[in-house]
Amino acid sequence: METKRWNIQRGTTINKQFISEAAALLKAGETVAFPTETVYGLGADATNKSAVAKIFEAKGRPQDNPLIAHVANVEQLQQLVDNLPEYVDDLIAAFSPGPLTYVLESNGACAENVTAGLSTIGVRIPDHPVALELLQACNFPVAAPSANLSGKPSPTTADHVDEDLNGKISGIVDGGPTGVGVESTVISCREHDVVILRPGGITKEQIEQIVPVAEPVNETVDKPASPGMKYKHYSPDVPLWLVDGDAEKIQNVIAEETEKGRKVALLARDAILELVEADLKLSLGSSLEDVANKLYDNLRKVKRTDVDIIISEVFPESGIGQAIMNRLKKAKTDYIP
């Protein structure tokens, strides 16, 4: 399969012809990757079961892992769900378009393989001009998990998508690097409160300003209601170790592995990198927002090196740090407390 690529860099005038060509492929039941403010998504017509099946095939994604339906506006969101709790309007006003996915009662408008046979569906309005233009041109919900091979780090550039899926999908809309860098927050919208199924770009603290956030109780992952709950995700091509400690402790772990003849990459903020020696230093910037933005790109860089292990610092689980640690814990092969 030939994968067509359209270059629409963010911040420039969006080429309507490119959007029309990409939308035409989606209308024809094909798969097209496109940028959102979180990561690149692999899109297909969410109402077309055979089109959605191509997402699972291209990614090698398990069939029981539900997808998120992306829509252009509130009206399209309302067309997919039943029994919308009153507080959802307030959440939408505050955070949509944006990196927040609402898990609501499905009305059956989307194909059953989007919901993995569940009675609920995850829906969000992305905050990216290219994504919104494409969704408006389609005028139907677009199912779109991250545009990568299942289990690997999510793509934050079109080149990441190309690396994983060239020849497996029909098109890639290149809108430049994404912004947030980690996937959307997913919330299960109950009658009077919400449960966070996956932390992401909207924090628990932000959501609590509008609606109570309940702790998950006996949430089963046998039939996950959200992506990111059941399967191993975000894994780089070499082992990833999380080391919980200061620069001295991290340096000691690196020294032990170096003595064994292993080459070590260090994934950390600049304040740690300045104090520690390693075969390869991967900068995550200074703030937690920087870490989220740079995380997946750095995990992918290791593939092009000869290192044997990645060692990452452990980050505070406050704000977006909760999402960062959620991804790292799912990607890790070892944890050193």
> What's the number of CA atoms in the CB half-sphere (13 Å) around residue 127?
19
Residue 70, marked binder: yes
Take residue 116 and report the two structure tokens written for it.
Answer: 């993995």
The answer to whether residues 285 and 294 touch, using CB atoms and an 8 Å cutoff, is: yes
> What's the number of CA atoms in the CB half-sphere (13 Å) around residue 168?
20
Largest distance between two CA atoms of the chain: 61
Take residue 310 and report the two structure tokens written for it.
Answer: 């990645």
> What does the CA dihedral 42, 45, 50, 52 come to, rounded to 10 degrees?
30
Residue 178, marked binder: no
Residue 269, marked binder: no
Neighbours of 20 (CB within 10 A): 12
Nearest to 41 by CA among 131, 152, 166, 133: 131
Nearest to 185 by CA among 40, 322, 85, 328: 322
Helix (H) or strand (E) holding 301: helix 288-301
Residue 150, marked binder: no
Residue 265, marked binder: no
Residue 190, marked binder: no
Residue 262, marked binder: no
- DSSP structural state of residue 146: B
Residue 226, marked binder: no
Take residue 336 and report the two structure tokens written for it.
Answer: 């050193």
Assign residue 200 a region: left if phi > 0, alpha if psi is -120 to 50, beta otherwise? beta
Phi/psi of residue 91, each to 5°? -65, -45
Residue 184, marked binder: yes
Peptide bond preceding 62 in cis form (omega within 30 of 0): no
Residue 144, marked binder: yes
> What does the CA dihedral 115, 121, 127, 131 come to, rounded to 10 degrees?
40
Q: Which residues are annotated as a binding site for L-threonine?
A: 38, 70, 124, 184
Q: Which residues are annotated as a binding site?
A: 38, 61, 65, 70, 120, 124, 144, 146, 154, 184, 198, 234
Q: Which residues are annotated as a binding site for ATP?
A: 61, 65, 120, 144, 146, 154, 198, 234
